[in-house]
Amino acid sequence: MTADLHSVAAEALEAVSAAPDLAALEAVRTRYLGRGDGELTSFRRGLGKIPDPDGRRQMGQMVNELVQRVGDALDERQRAIERNARAQSLEMEALDLTRPAPPLRRGRLSPVTLAAREIRRIFGLLGFEAVDGPEVEYDRYNFTLVNQPPGHPARDSQDTFYIDDWRLLRTHTSPVQIRSMLIRGAPQRVIVPGKTYRRDHDATHMPMFHQVEALCIDEGIAVSDLKGSLEFFARSFFGASSVLQWRPHHFPFTEPSLELELACVVCHGSGCSVCKYSGWLELLGSGMVHPQVLRNGGVDPERYSGFAFGMGIERAAMLAWGIPDMRLLYDNDVRFLVPETAIDGPSERSAP
Ligand code: DAH
């Protein structure tokens, strides 16, 4: 019995030092020290069969000692395993605050912002001051005061986001012409980039888009001033060799009205699906400010005249950089975000 006891105890101690983790260690504990039926503790049951009281006591002491020793070894091994685990996790989670951070990617600007900045810069060279106006506008400013009386097709609720009977989301930047005349009077030169809203959504229209408006009022302003200024702008923005043409048009707020067209940037005039086989792309609307509009802004049309123009900024960016779908401008595709350092005219820049 003694020999058995010692060999079981030796086996138990070996199992303890071989246990790789806490679960294995717990299994060793149950196997050898389990209450009642542990391989070591069950020697206690055999003690009753030893007839000699001295022998029984000695044997009992030995069992107790070995149970104690295996128990101590188990506790010691448990502490060692826990120590190791802690050291390992500390090493894994180590954070070196002195290490250099990974480089940050620089913020970029969208083609719409770049185009708006470039337009402002070019008109700045001609002495135009950039101003803005409210996006929630009175019906009166958006339509009536720019000669779009009630019943005009542009007022159709299909095109306009109305807020109530008096207010709407401006459908163009033209109401700022009225506001600027009322604030600044004459003479003045302003450029107005800003957000505009229409109930439209497809490859070439967004419900929110950007327009830029310009207004130039002074004594003796003529169509030649309009054409000179806008051709200077178009050649600065689209490149010195851009081919341009003027067409008569109609806008309620200008008389006469002219549209500026750019030879198709894709086919250069020979005709393709982009220009609908006309060879030309519509660029902007313009004209001499209607005398009634001047009057509505408090400017005397007997003394002053002026020219105005309006243009979609998304469209200008699409033409300058060959972007085929307006929705791409709002998809957060990082390839469309050219570096902020690209401050040359769009004509000098490659496609974003
Ligand atoms: N407001 C016009 C539009 O949204 C654009 C426009 C055309 C503005 C001619 C003007 C202009 O100032 O003279 O389509």
Residue finishing a domain among 93, 125, 143: 93
The residue segments making up the domain with residue 36 are 2-93
Helix (H, G, I), strand (E, B) or coil at 187: coil
Is 101 part of any domain? Answer: no
Helices (H), the chain: 2-18, 22-33, 43-46, 53-92, 111-125, 139-142, 175-184, 223-238, 291-296, 313-321
Is 104 part of any domain? Answer: no
Is 140 part of any domain? Answer: yes
Report whether residue 175 contacts ligand 1, using a CB cutoff of 6 Å: no
User: Distance of CA 57 to CAs 3, 36, 42, 50, Å?
Assistant: 17, 19, 16, 9
Judgement on whether residues 185 and 68 belong to the same structural domain of the protein: no
The answer to whether 73 touches 13, Cβ cutoff 8 Å, is yes
Structural domain total, the chain? 2
The answer to whether 262 touches 283, Cβ cutoff 8 Å, is yes
Report whether residue 286 contacts ligand 1, using a CB cutoff of 6 Å: yes
Report whether residue 213 contacts ligand 1, using a CB cutoff of 6 Å: yes
CATH code where residue 169 lies: 3.30.930.10
Residue finishing a domain among 59, 93, 127: 93
Q: Which two tokens stand for residue 153?
A: 């097709």
Report whether residue 310 contacts ligand 1, using a CB cutoff of 6 Å: yes
Is 244 part of any domain? Answer: yes
Is 273 part of any domain? Answer: yes
Judgement on whether residues 283 and 135 belong to the same structural domain of the protein: yes
Residue 252 Cα to ligand 1 middle (Å): 9
Is 106 part of any domain? Answer: no
Residue 327 Cα to ligand 1 middle (Å): 23
Judgement on whether residues 127 and 80 belong to the same structural domain of the protein: no
pLDDT in tens, the chain (352 residues): 677 888 888 899 999 999 999 999 999 999 998 887 888 888 888 888 888 888 888 888 998 898 999 999 999 999 999 999 999 998 888 888 888 887 776 667 888 999 999 999 999 999 999 999 999 999 999 999 999 988 887 687 668 999 999 999 999 999 999 999 999 999 999 999 999 999 988 777 889 999 999 999 999 999 999 999 999 999 999 999 999 999 999 999 999 999 999 999 888 889 888 889 999 999 999 999 999 999 999 999 999 999 999 999 999 998 998 888 888 888 877 777 655 554 444 444 444 3
Judgement on whether residues 182 and 228 belong to the same structural domain of the protein: yes
Judgement on whether residues 86 and 165 belong to the same structural domain of the protein: no
Judgement on whether residues 132 and 203 belong to the same structural domain of the protein: yes
Q: Which two tokens stand for residue 263?
A: 């030879």
Judgement on whether residues 305 and 201 belong to the same structural domain of the protein: yes
Closest ligand 1 atom to residue 146 Cα is 1
Report whether residue 139 contacts ligand 1, using a CB cutoff of 6 Å: no
Residue 190 Cα to ligand 1 middle (Å): 14
